[in-house]
Structure 1
Amino acid sequence: MAASINAHDHAPHVLLDAYEGLLVHVTQMHELASAEQWAELIEQRTHYVLLVEEVRKLDSLVVLDDPARQRKAELLERILEYDVEIRRRLMARRDELGKLIGVSQRQRDLHRAYAPQQGASFSALGSDDGEATK
């Protein structure tokens, strides 16, 4: 990529291509979030963060003219719209998992609290039955 950046006339094109690549990637991530394919989404998000870092570095080296800046702004707007929606869905999923964990913990706590008593009740019933038959 460094060779492309040094070629002054190609650098704006390379940068815009990188932003378009981010848009494609975030669109795929949005589809995964919509389909609730969480494991795949997390995997893709890790790759997305790396791509964003590469684009950030490239962006700091390239000067764009007005039409290119306008195109970059359009791409960024679309990328951020998808990103906001993905984050919203991830937070909803996190909240859902938190509720499930809470329910599971309460069930475990109830089981721990009442399981010893159930065993004692069964023993007491067994001894009562034994005395009644004598």
Structure 2
Amino acid sequence: MQGGQQLIASYELLLQQSKSMLELARRGDWAALLQEKSCGLVDAESLRQLEARVSLGQQEQLRKVELLEQILALDAEIHTHLLARRDELGRLILNSRRQHELNRTYRPVVGAALVYQAADRFDKGLP
């Protein structure tokens, strides 16, 4: 059952990574979270391959279920933080677009200023 212990250790590592990712999400460290997530995907693939080669005893199966429940709970909370961040970015993008539209609408037009200057001169009889 050496392989079973290795598999459980891999799930425990995945749990620690999930805890780390949740802490990063809580702090709003999105770049580090993405980096950690990338590493986690590589580890998850290794775990999947190990899972295919190893069969677990009853105690190991129970431990695996415990670990998976914890990992899934952490993942759900991470997901909640990511959705909040997505919504925040959406609002920022919308505000930026509105600001851009306002700036474009109300910015002075260079050609219009010349027309006004020329009209002013014409009214005063200046060349």
TM-score, reference length from structure 1: 0.81
Q: Which residue of 2 aligns with 1:83?
A: 75
2-structure distance, mates of 1:35, 1:74: 26
Shift of residue 61, structure 1, vs aligned partner: 1.2
Question: Structure 2: which amino acid aligns with 1:50?
Answer: V
Q: Which residue of 1 aligns with 2:4?
A: 12
Question: Structure 2: which amino acid aligns with 1:71?
Answer: R
Q: Which residue of 2 aligns with 1:25?
A: 17
**SS of 1:22's equivalent?**
helix
Matched-pair identity in %: 39
Structure 2 vs 1, CA of residues 114 and 80 (structure 1 numbering), >3 Å: closer, same or farther?
same
Q: 5+ residue gaps in structure 1?
A: 1-8
Q: Which residue of 1 aligns with 2:86?
A: 94
Shift of residue 118, structure 1, vs aligned partner: 9.0
Matches within 5 A, 1:1-134: 9-116=1-108, 120=112, 124=116
**SS of 1:63's equivalent?**
coil
Structure 2 vs 1, CA of residues 122 and 26 (structure 1 numbering), >3 Å: closer, same or farther?
farther
Q: Which residue of 2 aligns with 1:4?
A: none
Q: Which moved more, 1:80-89 or 1:69-78?
A: 80-89
TM-score, reference length from structure 2: 0.86
**SS of 1:64's equivalent?**
coil
Tell me which of the two structures has the higher relative contact order, counting C-alpha pairs closer than 8 angstroms and 6 or more residues apart. Answer: 2
1-structure distance, mates of 2:111, 2:78: 49
Shift of residue 43, structure 1, vs aligned partner: 0.8
Alignment RMSD:
2.3
**SS of 2:28's equivalent?**
coil
Q: 5+ residue gaps in structure 2?
A: none
2-structure distance, mates of 1:36, 1:59: 33
Question: Structure 2: which amino acid aligns with 1:38?
Answer: W
Aligned length: 125
Shift of residue 60, structure 1, vs aligned partner: 1.3
